[in-house]
Each structure stands twice: as C-alpha cells, then as structure tokens.
Amino acid sequence: MSLNNFQQSKQRRNFLEKELKVKFPQIAKAHIEEEENIYCENLIGETTTPLGVAGPIKIQSLQGSLKQKKDLIRQSFIPLATTEGALVASVNRGCKAINLSGVAKVFVKKTGTTRGPVYDTENLEKGLWFIDWLKKNEQEIKKEAEKTSSHLRYLKFYAKVVGGYTFIRFYFDCDEAMGMNMATIATEAINRWIEKKAKIRCLSITGNFCVDKKASWLNFLLGRGQELWAEVSLKKEIINRVLKTSGEKMFEVWLGKNLIGSILSGSISYNGHFANIVAAYFLATGQDLAHVIEGSLGITTTKLLPNGDLYFAIYLPAVMLAMVGGGTKLKIKKEAIAITQAKNSRELAEVLGAAVLAGEISLLASLAEGSLARAHQKLGR
C-alpha cells in the first residue's frame, strides 16, 4: 500500500498514523483549505507558523513623476510569519525609527523572471553564430514566447559561449505572477522554434544560467524578478531616543560587519540579515520559499551626515515575489497579503523593501548598543 493509492488527505493521514503508530491531531486541525487549491502531492494536512505584524510604516513610492511622488505616501502593516523570537519586535522598532525620522522611500524595478537554457553548439564558431542569429530573429522569438500566455511579455536575452555550449538567459515580464512556470513554458516554445529554424538542440531548459533558487553573482549584477531600493535619513535624536545608540556607532558596526566582515568571509552579500525578513514575509504571503536565496542577496549602505543624522539604505537585486499564483491562492495567505493593503505586486514588493530597511536599522542599532543577546534572551527563549 502506498500514499499514492489514496484520494483524500484524511485517508493518507490515517494510513500514516497506523503505519508509524503516531497521531497527527494538530496537522489535521490545521488543514482548512480546499484540497483543489493546494499544489502539494501526497497531501496529509497543513502545518502552521506563528504570524506577527510589524508597523505601520510610512512608505513613499518613488515611482512616477516628482509631482506624483508627493502623493504616493501610505502607511502599511507588515505580516511576518516566523518562529524566531525578537524578529517582529526588531522590525517594529525599525518602523518606529523610520516613521519618527520621516518616511521610507522605496523604488521597485521589474527586471523580469529568467529562464536560462544550455544549448549544444558544438564549437565556438557555431556558438557565436547562434548568438548573432538570436539577435537577428529576436522579434520572432518574442512572438513565439508571447503565444504561450496573454499575461507574459518577452523582454530580452543575455548570452555566453563556453566551448561547445551556449547559455541564454531569457527575461520575461510575468504580470502579477512570480512567473517561473510561465517562463519555463515560454522558453520551451522558444526552444521548439529554435530547433526547427536554426537546428540548434537545447540540452536542458535550465542550464543554471537562470539562476533559479541559488546564490549567484549573475543575479546580483544583472537582477532577477524585481529589484528593490529603500532609504531613509535617521534623525540624530531618534537614533539616541528610540534606537538607544548613535549614528557614529551604527556606522562603525556597518563598516566592520556588513562591509569588512563580509569581504573577509568571502560573502556574496553585504547586509546584516535580509534573509530573516524576506523569509518571514514570503512565508506569510505565500511566496515560493526557496527564492529566499535570491532575496538574501543585497547591500546595506550608511553615511554619516554633517548634522549628525545617519543616511541608511538597502538594495535587493533579485526579489522573486508575486501577487497571484502559487501559494498566494491560499485563503490564509490572501488574508496576510490583505494586511499590507497592497493592490499589486509592485506595492507588495514596496512593503518588503520598507520592512527589510526597518529590520536592518534595528539590527545594526542593537549590535551597536550591545543588546542583541539580551533581546533574544528576553524574547527568543
């Protein structure tokens, strides 16, 4: 008897309870979604993660014209699903410091979802010819890709030849979806057309050139999904009163930890804990959790200002986030998304950018103050 023989999650759960001689009352209790909305094979139920809310935080969107930007200020709450004590409190403290100092200014650029096949081009000459051929036929490639979905738009490609292999990184705008499935289907259609017209064989629809769910300098330098920027100038008195430290001390910690420490350890990123906030936000809002790897990439920058204030900014080059599709279809995730009041994927990303900014501020302040261990002893044990 196999789990595949059963049609319902309850039947599979009962089978496992008998087989393992273990009871799963909480897993059964947590199972509240209709099974047809859940993309999970051999389903037996659901697990839950505590959901906390930080904020509200004042966000100014830097999209549009200078005149429009003045009107694009809103307040958003931040849903964070985590089992790490002190994380929500830390982000909340960062939100307070930002709000009292002004506003989190956030900019989002849709770079595009990527799929990066590898092709057998036999030798350098044929590989270089292939790239030239793709450039000349790019409009036809665009047509083939966009036939696969009314929500997908072909953007561009980036290419590299290594010996007898050619790697192509296709970029797609997938509307409100994160779009990996859409990008894969579109790339498959492109490959069929390439094989027919150019007689070039695709070895694998993903040649690790996407680069999907892996840490990569290519994603850092070229971007993937959405790129996020956020900034604020923290007032000197707010740093002292709310964060219990000084701009000078925070700058020293940033320089020693985020910059020099990252260089010394050979890190691919230069931030304090982007992954903490990205993971909690992704889990709350139904994103693909493996894309936390791309979300952990990024740089935190600080600058001491002449008046004693501290300029603080973050950059995330590869955020794979969606408003529709995948786990965002689950009712419980829809409710968490509603907490942000975001109307589209750009606004959902803006809230994440502001949250990461707040989390970085609070962590560096805690390290500068020397309160990290105390905070976790109080809230995380």
Rounded CA-CA distance 323/347 in Å is 9
**212 is known as an active-site residue:** no
CA separation (Å) from 12 to 5, 17, 33? 9, 9, 16
**84 is known as an active-site residue:** yes
Rounded CA-CA distance 24/70 in Å is 53
Q: Choose the catalytic residue: 288, 294, 347, 360.
A: 288
Tokens 């903490």 belong to which residue? 276
Half-sphere exposure of 172 (CA within 13 A, CB side): 35
Half-sphere exposure of 296 (CA within 13 A, CB side): 17
Q: Choose the catalytic residue: 17, 84, 122, 140.
A: 84
Tokens 């204030």 belong to which residue? 309
Peptide bond into 211 cis (omega under 30): yes
Rounded CA-CA distance 17/302 in Å is 54
Active-site residue list: 84, 288, 376
